[in-house]
Structure 1
Amino acid sequence: NATWNWSFPGGNPSTSNLEDPIIVYNQAGTYNVSLTVTDQFGTSSQTLSNFIKYDDTTSAITSSTDYKQDFESIIFPPNAWQTPNSSFSWQSIIVDSGSNCLPNKVTYVDHYHISQRGDEAFLISNKVKLGNGPSAINYLTYDYSYSGFSSAHDDGFRIDISNDCGHSWDSIYGAFGADLATTSYQSSVWFPTCDSWQTDTINLSSLGYNNDTIMLRFVAINDYGNQFYLDNININGDNIVTNKNIENYSLWLYPNPSNGIFSVVSNYHNLDYEIYDLMGKSIKKGKLNENEKTINLKKENPGVYLAVFKISHTTITKKFTIY
């Protein structure tokens, strides 16, 4: 068996013994990579200069600056977006009737001609820095159009979010078949009509994403049905406070996940908090001080919750899981 010794100057981690490591670069730039492989035939080393080029394409959300992706560029996927290899993929197409009832370039998935049922195709956004503030609201909107083939072919659509540069993903939306369709079944290749487009909105702040740097992953789940079209992906912010007006507070909630007992570590001593379930129902509120830095939720059911901490004029939201 071979052994692998990687060196990634400037990366995190900077070394690895894995065959296919995942490395994160926090600063834009060009980086060298070195690899030494040892097996029963000996040792071989190679250094590739300027092998990794990282352009930081993070988009920042403010009260006056939104993020917009309309797929009108001649390049697909758009700059800094990704379409990882799979048995099928997202593509661009010009349709006669976009969401504005005019010809538009959109992205779509050709489920009609893809027979690999259950396979998924990813469309991954560039990084977006969400806005912050005590009453900040960051929300995602997008337009979509879909006609199924029949009730026996339930194509699906899911949206995932990551706040760790794509190392892990959480699902924030999903629908299949009739729950996804915007018009009636069509037994031939289908193209959107003016009245078949719908707009969906997802409040990212209510899910615990404020001031995070996120990536979005749009997932097409194939069931050999009919075409799915997507356009006008926007992230908007209301009541955003610029970073220079936000005091520098640090707060950690651990362990996460937990059996219901959580400790809070913060550089601020007096914390008001309120716990919500994902339906927005308040289930507990209280105050933490120097002598009391734990939250007991052992009576609550397993699941995902949000903890909202109020510190001076700042609100910090943390998502956590009880198992």
Structure 2
Amino acid sequence: MKKIALLSILLLTGMVLSYAKPIDVRTAQSAGSNYYSHIFHVQSLQLSLAYTEKSPGGEPVYYVFNVNTDKGFIIVSAEDATHPILGYSNEGGYAAPTIGSNAAYWMNKEKDQIIAIRANNIQAGATLKNEWASCINNTFDNSNTHRVSSFVGPFCATTWDQSPYYNAYCPGSPQAVTGCVATTMGQIMKYWNYPPHGIGYASYNDVNPPYSENYGWLFAYLDTSNYMWASMPNKVISPGNSQVAKLLYDAGVTLQMNYSPSNSGSFVSMYDFPGANSQESFPNYFGYTKYIHDELRRQHTTAAWLSLIEAELNAVPARIVSYSGLDPVNGGHNWVCDGYNTADNYLHMNWGWSGADDGYFNVDSLNPSGTPYHFNDSEEVLTNIKPPPAKALFMGNPTAGCAGMKVQFTDQSFGPAPSFPVTAWKWTFAGGTPPISTSQNPVVTYTSTGAFNVTLVVTTAKGTDTMVKSSYITVLNSASAPLAQGFEQNFPPLHWSENNPSNYFVTWSKASVGGYGLSAHSMAYNNSKTTNANIGDRQQMYSQPVSFFSTNNPELYFDVAYAPYNNQFSDTLAVYYSTDCGVQWTQVYLKGGMSLCTTGKSVQNGANTDSGTFKPLNTNWRTDTIYLGNLAGNPDVMFSFENRCGKGSSMYIDNVNIKDNPLSVFNITEDNTLAVYPNPNNGSFTLQFDSHADKTYAISVYDMLGQEVMHNQVAGSGGRLLLPVNLTGCSKGIYTVVLKSDNQQTVKKIAVF
């Protein structure tokens, strides 16, 4: 929110000035008792002084009196040149607000006004004199029905807070507090008991600078956050209620909250900070109407301001308001405004502080006719916060493939409340068969190549909503082998596609480090960033379809670089192929941890890193090969590179090659340079070959399906090398031994019986 400077007149508060008549505590008590009786129609009252706020010079500024036992409080000004009553409540008792809290902000603003009025010797006008006379003499005019007390609200039943328990999902140790904007959002959403689940995902990197702490990447997977509203109590008084904590954390991440253990902060409106604010988070991540309005106090008269807010609360159902303000010391504040009193137009504030000091407060300038100072100018509200008549959402799987692919569409839509569910669906599928559908979860076939839009219109008893996903389905022509991809151009590469069903923020991406040869880029997945992902989460990158129709000896080979974080946190790479456009997948490669590792070291034990995650050196790459003889003659083959998250480190893939006879790119040495004995064998044998001292040799063994069952790297010695191999855990059959170094490759068949 836009900052305002404290007025220079506050510097005068230490001077001895003659100012308008102060109100002593006994007069204030009498005025408060009479006003409380008038507002709440209560005759028997016992007021006790609970708190006196004083100026820097020690003069009383206002008094707070508790009413009977837990019957509320009333705040009375100690200055007769202001409105007499600053606020009141008929529930609980008064607690001096914690420094930095929303209630403290509000009362400090009132205090500053009173000090400014005194410093400038501003006198009470006729209106204020009459107000004081009515309170002191108990002579309220009830002849005007508009002035008879009638309460609208309060509508918000929750009295949530920022900690403890509410922040159980927040980062850090000690844990950061939720932040007042997240708590306000949560209370408003609980009021509506909406949505049933969030939309998409949100994430950001909470590091210093610009943030206060260094919590790193924070994620909220809102699609999978199902909010159990009935399980959320009005007040959390013990640990274990994960539903409230998860809701407030999800809200905080969408706000890109500046988390800290003492004071977490974020923005409320697009006026404050476009891109990350509650005005945009409500519709974008939680499905609220996109027509939420930001209204600034300084653009309204007091009457217009009250009329604006009261119109929200008079709606059916009432639309509670997000109210905020800014002070120059403790920053922004945000809370819920959920009611008002027709007699005096005081607004009910739910401060988001476990119910402490919730009540009705005056929003007018304390001396509207006399002071030129604008203490309320920093205030703003969000209005029209409500669920839409319907919310259309869907996903399809797969979203890319070859001609003839079948796509399963899944409806994720919802209505404004459980009592108003979605009752009708109308789908439109450009390029699909059928082209339209009224099923909730249709299956559609795509036979023509191109990129196609999908449209869904859903209907509830309250109305309709439409979602259009442009170029959502991509149907590709199959390329003929050979095919090579070095990730040097746009990412994903042309005709490649990413499968990200859970909408994770961290995805396969282009990295500025390359594999063997002249490559300067690669495809990478940074598992170390997925601090909020679950171990085992999977995400795929699909190749374009490839035709092996005229291929006799297809194989797939690629460069890989990886180092796990340690033995506990490591990741896995799996490779699959599909012959039916991605409907079914067959695994042909699986390596993880130190088996996938190309450095011999984990990150924790010395692998090269950049900002804490693995970054390969030129010597940290390995070429892995998958033989695919069983796919010869197939017209449409897709490959999937799947990352399986273990919260380990970054994984890199480069120089993906799909070849008819890839050995043609090497200078093939005679088989007698690689000896295998005994052969046949029982799975235990020795490799023998002559080596050069300046070379590194990669040895791989593949089964009949092309799956790599053993891999090793050895440094040349300048003489004959003997390498024992043990395949005793493998099935009987024919295996292929491949020896690679620089531009040479030697292949040997062995039999295991």
Q: Aligning the two structures, in what range does the TM-score lie when normalised by the shorter sequence?
A: 0.5 to 0.7
Paired position in structure 1 for 2:577: 161
**Equivalent residue of 1:104, what SS?**
coil
TM-score (norm 1): 0.61
Paired position in structure 2 for 1:173: 589
Q: Deviations over 1:67-94 (max 9, x none)?
A: 0110000x11111222233242111111
- Which residue, 504, 515, 518 being the options, matches 1:98? 515
Deviation at 1:52, TM superposition (A): 6.7
- Which residue, 526, 540, 543 being the options, matches 1:125? 543
Counterpart residue type for residue 129 of structure 1: S
Q: Does 1:220 align with 2:643?
A: yes
**Equivalent residue of 2:623, what SS?**
strand
Q: Deviations over 1:101-144 (max 9, x none)?
A: x56111111122322222222211122122336xx111111110
Instruction: Quickly say closer, same or farther: Cα 1:152–1:30, change in 2 above 3 A.
Output: closer
Counterpart residue type for residue 515 of structure 2: G
Counterpart residue type for residue 215 of structure 1: M
Paired position in structure 1 for 2:603: 186
Q: Deviations over 1:261-285 (max 9, x none)?
A: xxxxxxxxxxxxxxxxx9549xxxx
Instruction: Quickly say closer, same or farther: Cα 1:205–1:24, change in 2 above 3 A.
Output: farther
Number of positions where the alignment pairs a residue of Structure 1 with one of Structure 2: 232
Higher percent of residues as strand = 1
Q: Which whole-Å CA distance do the structure 2 matches of 1:122 and 1:31 have between them?
A: 21
Counterpart residue type for residue 77 of structure 1: P
Instruction: Quickly say closer, same or farther: Cα 1:174–1:12, change in 2 above 3 A.
Output: farther
Q: Deviations over 1:47-66 (max 9, x none)?
A: 98x977756343112xxxx1
Paired position in structure 2 for 1:288: none
Q: Deviations over 1:216-250 (max 9, x none)?
A: 111111112122110011111149xxxxxxxxxxx
Paired position in structure 1 for 2:35: none
Q: Which whole-Å CA distance do the structure 2 matches of 1:55 and 1:119 have between them?
A: 26
Instruction: Quickly say closer, same or farther: Cα 1:31–1:110, change in 2 above 3 A.
Output: closer
Paired position in structure 2 for 1:19: 440
Q: Which whole-Å CA distance do the structure 2 matches of 1:47 and 1:152 have between them?
A: 43
Instruction: Quickly say closer, same or farther: Cα 1:196–1:212, change in 2 above 3 A.
Output: same
Counterpart residue type for residue 621 of structure 2: W
Q: How does 1:75-114 map to 2 (within 5 A)?
A: 75-83=490-498, 84=500, 85-95=503-513, 98-100=515-517, 104-114=520-530
Q: Does 1:59 align with 2:479?
A: yes
Deviation at 1:153, TM superposition (A): 1.2
Paired position in structure 2 for 1:148: 564
Paired position in structure 2 for 1:195: 619
Q: Which whole-Å CA distance do the structure 2 matches of 1:46 and 1:152 have between them?
A: 46
Paired position in structure 2 for 1:229: 652
Q: Deviations over 1:192-212 (max 9, x none)?
A: 122221111112223x45323
Q: Among the aligned pairs, what percent are the same residue?
A: 27
Higher percent of residues as helix = 2
Paired position in structure 2 for 1:310: none
**Equivalent residue of 2:660, what SS?**
strand
**Equivalent residue of 2:625, what SS?**
strand
Paired position in structure 1 for 2:116: none
Counterpart residue type for residue 642 of structure 2: V
Question: Does the 8 Å contact 1:143/1:200 carry over to 2?
Answer: yes
**Equivalent residue of 1:195, what SS?**
helix
TM-score (norm 2): 0.28
Q: Which whole-Å CA distance do the structure 2 matches of 1:39 and 1:219 have between them?
A: 39
Counterpart residue type for residue 90 of structure 1: W
**Equivalent residue of 2:613, what SS?**
coil
Q: Which whole-Å CA distance do the structure 1 matches of 2:629 and 2:449 have between them?
A: 28
Q: Could you list the runs of 5+ residues in structure 1 that have no partner in the other structure?
A: 240-277, 282-323
Q: Which whole-Å CA distance do the structure 2 matches of 1:10 and 1:160 have between them?
A: 28
Q: Deviations over 1:18-49 (max 9, x none)?
A: 4354533221257676756454457x69898x
Q: Which whole-Å CA distance do the structure 1 matches of 2:572 and 2:439 have between them?
A: 34
Question: Does the 8 Å contact 2:516/2:618 carry over to 1?
Answer: yes
Runs of 4+ in 1 over 6 A off after TM superposition: 44-48, 50-53
Q: Which whole-Å CA distance do the structure 1 matches of 2:467 and 2:602 have between them?
A: 55
Instruction: Quickly say closer, same or farther: Cα 1:209–1:82, change in 2 above 3 A.
Output: same
Q: Which whole-Å CA distance do the structure 1 matches of 2:444 and 2:486 have between them?
A: 30
Question: Does the 8 Å contact 2:549/2:634 carry over to 1?
Answer: yes
Question: Does the 8 Å contact 1:87/1:119 carry over to 2?
Answer: no
Deviation at 1:213, TM superposition (A): 0.6
Q: How does 1:166-315 map to 2 (within 5 A)?
A: 166-183=582-599, 184-187=601-604, 188-206=612-630, 208=631, 210-238=633-661, 280=704
Q: Which whole-Å CA distance do the structure 2 matches of 1:146 and 1:186 have between them?
A: 10
Paired position in structure 1 for 2:16: none
Q: Which whole-Å CA distance do the structure 2 matches of 1:33 and 1:224 have between them?
A: 35
**Equivalent residue of 2:521, what SS?**
strand
Q: Which whole-Å CA distance do the structure 2 matches of 1:30 and 1:145 have between them?
A: 33
Instruction: Quickly say closer, same or farther: Cα 1:14–1:205, change in 2 above 3 A.
Output: farther
Instruction: Quickly say closer, same or farther: Cα 1:180–1:40, change in 2 above 3 A.
Output: same
Higher mean displacement: 175-184 or 107-116: 107-116
Q: Which whole-Å CA distance do the structure 1 matches of 2:445 and 2:642 have between them?
A: 23
Q: Which whole-Å CA distance do the structure 2 matches of 1:143 and 1:280 have between them?
A: 22
Q: Which whole-Å CA distance do the structure 2 matches of 1:32 and 1:90 have between them?
A: 24
Counterpart residue type for residue 656 of structure 2: I
Q: Which whole-Å CA distance do the structure 2 matches of 1:113 and 1:31 have between them?
A: 33
Aligned CA-pair RMSD: 3.3
Instruction: Quickly say closer, same or farther: Cα 1:204–1:2, change in 2 above 3 A.
Output: farther
Paired position in structure 1 for 2:199: none
Which of the two has higher C-alpha Rg?
2
Paired position in structure 1 for 2:40: none
Counterpart residue type for residue 647 of structure 2: Y
Q: Which whole-Å CA distance do the structure 2 matches of 1:177 and 1:159 have between them?
A: 15
Question: Does the 8 Å contact 2:550/2:632 carry over to 1?
Answer: no
